[in-house]
Amino acid sequence: MSIFYAQLLTGLAYGMLYFMIAAGLTIILGVMNVVNLAHGTLFMLGAYIAFTFISDELNFWIALLLSVLLTAVLGIILEKLLIKHVYGKELEQVLLTFGLSFIIADVVKWIWGTEMQTLSAPALLNASLSIGDMVFPLYRLFVVFIGCLLALLLWYLESKTRIGAIIRAGVDDRAMVGALGINVGLVFTGVFAFGAALAGLSGVLGGPLIGMYTGMDSEILVTSLIVVVIGGLGSWKGSFISAILIGVIETFGKVWFPSLSMLIVFLIMIVVLIIRPQGLFGREVA
């Protein structure tokens, strides 16, 4: 029986990682109505930046902090320079962010090469825990913990703070919020930077789990888009549930039907979309 729990825990760790990635994507989507297809690339960039710092003998936690900061700064630059010109124009957004993802991916290849790399988990968490007769690496539990922490933080920000109130209002009626004297442009920049920082954070935390390689950006993007679609566009709560669902199902699928594990994820998406076209937690379309 303990194999079942161990696999469940592995799936949960994946799910939390997917949640961390999808959260940034879905927040940007929900607040700004921007589909940021460069999100996977920011994830990759976060991991590689941390990799460089750690290769320079820097502490994992400092590397993590610096990566998150740098991806956030990059987010601000991208938003100020490019994204802000395409608000409300969906096709342009898709083309712009998709193009960006190619450019950044090529830059990553150019700087770091095409060889597969792995981030090593921080020394503090480089231990294992026994669960029955199964052993589980501590680092994965840490990823689960951070995922839960992030969910709590998002809940708090959304429902208990002024920023959350502004954002909620801004989603419903942007013009009204603007009329109240709130700088919507600034809020949007902040949200985009926050989303980019989340991508960077999950990149660093995911490094020890899934490694770093060329093509990881599009793989992650596909997974997180699926998470977001299943969960309901723009709903981080939906992403939380669907990320866990996908992480767990994918893990079991890998063992039970190794060659079908990706297909299963798509099947879930199709079923969900047939039953609830707006996604599990999507806003009811009246």
Partner 1 sequence: MEKKKRFLKLNITGLIMMIAVMLIIAGCAQSSGTSGNTGSSKEESSSGLLKIGFILSQTGTFAPLSEGIINGFKLYLEEHNGMLGGKKVEIKVEDDEANPQVALRKYRQLVHSEKVDILVGPISSAVVYALRDEVEKDKKVLIDANAAGDDLAWSKKSNYVYRASFSNWQNGSSAAKYLANNVGKKAVILAPDYPAGKEVLRAFKAAFEAAGGKVAKELYPKLNTNDFAPYLQEASAENPDLIYAFFTGSDGIRFVTQYKEFGLKGKIPLAGALEFGDELITQPTGEAAEGIITGINYSPYLDNEQNKQFVEAYKAKYGKLPNIFSVEGYDSAAMIDKAVAEAGSVRSEDLIKVLKGISFDSPRGPITIDPATNNPIQNFYIAKNELKDGVIVPKVIEMVKNVTMPETSPFE
In whole angstroms, give the CA distance from residue 99 to residue 177.
Answer: 32
Say whether 34 sits in a helix, a strand or coil. coil
Picking from 110, 51, 43, the residue whose alpha carbon sits closest to that of residue 75 is 43
Q: Residue 200 CB, nearest distance to partner 1 (Å)?
A: 19
Q: Residue 156 CB, nearest distance to partner 1 (Å)?
A: 27
- Closer to partner 1 by CB, 72 or 250: give it: 250
Q: Which of 109, 124, 152, 267 binds partner 1 (CB under 8 A)?
A: 109
In whole angstroms, give the CA distance from residue 55 to residue 16.
Answer: 26
Residue 21 φ then ψ, to 5°: -70, -50
Q: Indicate whether 95 belongs to the interface with partner 1 (CB under 8 A).
A: no
Q: Indicate whether 239 belongs to the interface with partner 1 (CB under 8 A).
A: no
Q: Indicate whether 274 belongs to the interface with partner 1 (CB under 8 A).
A: no
Of residues 23-52, those binding partner 1 (CB under 8 A): 33, 35, 37
Q: Report CA-CA distances (Å) from 235 to 42, 85, 179, 197.
A: 21, 25, 26, 18
Q: Indicate whether 87 belongs to the interface with partner 1 (CB under 8 A).
A: no
Q: What would you report as the CA-atom Rg of the chain, rounded to the nearest whole angstrom?
A: 19
> How many other β-carbons are positioned within 10 Å of the β-carbon of residue 33?
16
Residue 161 φ then ψ, to 5°: -115, 165
Of residues 199-238, those binding partner 1 (CB under 8 A): 209-211, 213-215, 218-219, 221-222, 225-226, 228-229, 233
- Closer to partner 1 by CB, 1 or 186: give it: 1
Q: Which residues pair with 129 in a beta bridge?
A: 136
Q: Which residues bind partner 1 (CB under 8 A)?
A: 2-3, 6-7, 10, 33, 35, 37, 90, 94, 98, 109, 114-116, 118, 128, 130, 134-137, 140, 209-211, 213-215, 218-219, 221-222, 225-226, 228-229, 233, 251-252, 254-255, 258-259, 273, 277-279, 282-283, 285-286
